[in-house]
Structure 1
Amino acid sequence: MFGYSLGELGSIFAMQAFAGLILFSVFVLMALGLAIIFGQMGVINMAHGEFMILGAYMTYLTSHVFQTYLPAGYPAYFFVAMAVAFIVSGALGLATEWLLIRHLYARPLDTLLATWGLSLIMQQAFRSIFGAREVGVQLPDWMMGALSVTDVIEVQINGLFVMGLTLIITGVVALLLFRSRWGLQVRAVVANRTMSGAAGIDTRRVDRLTFGLGCGIAGIAGSAFTMIGSTGPTAGQLYIVDTFLVVVFGGAQSLLGTIASAFTISQSQSTLEFFLTGSMAKVLTLLFVIGLLMLRPQGLFVLKVRR
């Protein structure tokens, strides 16, 4: 920080804070699905990053279809791409739960190994279908450019769009969890799975829908990811560790904790990366999180549940 004036430091912190908000948006979209799955089912889904990349590839394919066959509708391609990403990732999530996960409940190590194997299979499938090179999408004209806040501070329009999308998705998930019959069943299963089953709730069906929804949200995160980075077969692995860190730090069963944790980690990483290397920023952030977890191992927020 030495060598900068107070005004320059203020501008740097403001720019990095906005960059952190974009990273925060991707973290939240990734962690929402993972927190729902891990919080309710106790499943450590190591393939969650690949479901995000599946959504990114679906966005890439949709943009290519619009460019080739519907060029006049290209400005609106992203909204179609989000729907496609959610449906494809969610459908694969439902199939994964039915074919694989449902046979491994109460066996966390086996689930971890199985989903890790699934992630390797999906990576190779991406590599075989789309190639090993990274691909990107061309943003519509209305997403290009930046808005000037001050003479030295600019914010990217596509970053603002990603943040707005994150707010909408988070709001929809909150409504589903706290204002719908399915959400009531999910919270009942989290509180006491045995009693919920005795009360007539089909816990297996709730688990399957929850896993599918979590994977679908990861697909939407993949759509958002295409706006800030290129897509490659192994890109999901770059975010899976940070996503688990967000979920554990915030409290696996708390929506508010997930949001607060994603904000804390993204802002610290973004600011530290300006003054240090990316690796050192991650190391310091990890040490900070480990220190807090030693003091509060249940995470920032925790729900009281019956076991």
Structure 2
Amino acid sequence: MTVSEMLNIGLMQGFAGLSLFAVLLLMGLGLAIIFGQMGVINMAHGEFMTLGAYTIYLGSQLTQTYAPNLMPYYFPLAIVLAFGFAFAAGWLVEWGLIRHLYKRPLDTLLATWGISLALQQTFRTFIGPKEVSPTLPDWLLGSWAPAPGLDIPINGLFVLALTTFVTLGVLLALGKSRWGLRVRATVSNRTMANATGIDTKKTDRITFAIGCGIAGVAGAAFTTIGSTGPTSGSLYIVDSFLVVTFGGAASLLGTVVSAFGIAQTQSVSEFFMTGSMAKVLTLSLIVLILMLRPQGLFASKVRR
């Protein structure tokens, strides 16, 4: 094998890691908002991702059946619907359950784990236990060849662009919008935020729902690289918590860096060893770094 071929394989493997990075980052962003900003351990986060993925699948099925001429256009609309359905489901979960469990993180863990199991059974009952895949529009298929022997899938480029758009939107919203100001005030001092007229209960509900909505977008991105089943989201929940913890629980920048590092380490190492061993290597490196820096890569600064 020539040096050029090795370089092309390395680049393609690295780009495969970018597709995993995109899904992990979107999942991690949602968790960083819910866990990092609110302190809620949402074990059902993966099921909101699955809800977004099933939205894409059902959208493709309905479009194919009733409006096949719209197949080239359904995917962007389905992404918006994936966010909307996951947002609405998150709103209901926060209103019906989570709002009663703030300051009790272990209770939120158990409660959301129960919601996770209930949603998985709901998916099995109404959609089916088998894994399904949507019919992607033609413009998402194929690959781009910038050089001979180097093929980059177009769906990976689209997912990367989508992830960049969502990430920048979240960063701008938290830093510049009225909602972001209310979130930062509530996280810093809930009592003082209430005293200044901020409706912290409404802020909590919107924040939780937005985090779930971003998980729905992660599910939409996931449909371009894998098939969806009732337990698909649960396969990513541990990695998502690792992304948030490794990067620093309250740091969105840390979430980005952590997701990139974990995805690239796992993808590149899979080329040289089995998937299980690559996972073990990635987890071992994370544990080693967290032993040296338990607060994560980008710990939030607090006054002592």
TM-score range, shorter chain: over 0.9
**1:183 equivalent in structure 2:** 180
CA contact (8 A) 2:133 2:223 kept: yes
Which of 139, 147, 151 aligns to 1:150? It is 147
Which of 65, 80, 83 aligns to 2:80? It is 83
The whole-number CA distance in structure 2 between the counterparts of 1:20 and 1:178 is: 29
RMSD: 1.2
CA contact (8 A) 2:56 2:82 kept: yes
1:255-276 per-position Cα deviation (integer Å, ceiling 9, x unaligned): 1110000000000000011111
SS in 2 for 1:132: coil
Which deviates more from structure 2 when the two are superposed, residues 147-156 or residues 126-135? 147-156
**1:35 equivalent in structure 2:** 32
Query: In the TM superposition, what is the alpha-carbon distance from 1:86 to its structure 2 partner?
Result: 0.8
The whole-number CA distance in structure 1 between the counterparts of 2:64 and 2:95 is: 36
Which of 253, 256, 268 aligns to 2:250? It is 253
**1:112 equivalent in structure 2:** 109
The whole-number CA distance in structure 2 between the counterparts of 1:304 and 1:193 is: 18
Query: In the TM superposition, what is the alpha-carbon distance from 1:84 to its structure 2 partner?
Result: 1.1
The whole-number CA distance in structure 1 between the counterparts of 2:301 and 2:94 is: 27
Query: In the TM superposition, what is the alpha-carbon distance from 1:9 to its structure 2 partner?
Result: 3.0
The whole-number CA distance in structure 2 between the counterparts of 1:29 and 1:220 is: 7
The whole-number CA distance in structure 2 between the counterparts of 1:296 and 1:201 is: 35
Which deviates more from structure 2 when the two are superposed, residues 215-224 or residues 189-198? 189-198
The whole-number CA distance in structure 1 between the counterparts of 2:93 and 2:228 is: 23
Which deviates more from structure 2 when the two are superposed, residues 189-198 or residues 17-26? 189-198
**1:273 equivalent in structure 2:** 270
Q: Does 1:131 align with 2:128?
A: yes
**2:164 equivalent in structure 1:** 167
**2:236 equivalent in structure 1:** 239
1:190-240 per-position Cα deviation (integer Å, ceiling 9, x unaligned): 222232223222211111000000001111111111111000001111111
Letter of the 2:76 counterpart: F
The whole-number CA distance in structure 2 between the counterparts of 1:70 and 1:61 is: 13
Percent identity of paired positions between Structure 1 and Structure 2: 62
Paired residues, what number? 304
The whole-number CA distance in structure 1 between the counterparts of 2:273 and 2:203 is: 45
Q: Does 1:49 align with 2:29?
A: no
Letter of the 2:271 counterpart: F
Q: Does 1:229 align with 2:226?
A: yes
Query: In the TM superposition, what is the alpha-carbon distance from 1:149 to its structure 2 partner?
Result: 2.2
CA contact (8 A) 2:34 2:211 kept: yes
**2:12 equivalent in structure 1:** 15
1:167-193 per-position Cα deviation (integer Å, ceiling 9, x unaligned): 111111111111101101111122222
Query: In the TM superposition, what is the alpha-carbon distance from 1:246 to its structure 2 partner?
Result: 0.3
Unmatched segments (≥5 aa) in structure 1: none
CA contact (8 A) 1:37 1:43 kept: yes
Which of 192, 195, 202 aligns to 1:195? It is 192
1:141-160 per-position Cα deviation (integer Å, ceiling 9, x unaligned): 11110011222211000110
The whole-number CA distance in structure 2 between the counterparts of 1:165 and 1:27 is: 13
SS in 2 for 1:147: strand
Which of 282, 298, 303 aligns to 1:301? It is 298
TM-score by length of 2: 0.97
CA contact (8 A) 2:5 2:149 kept: no
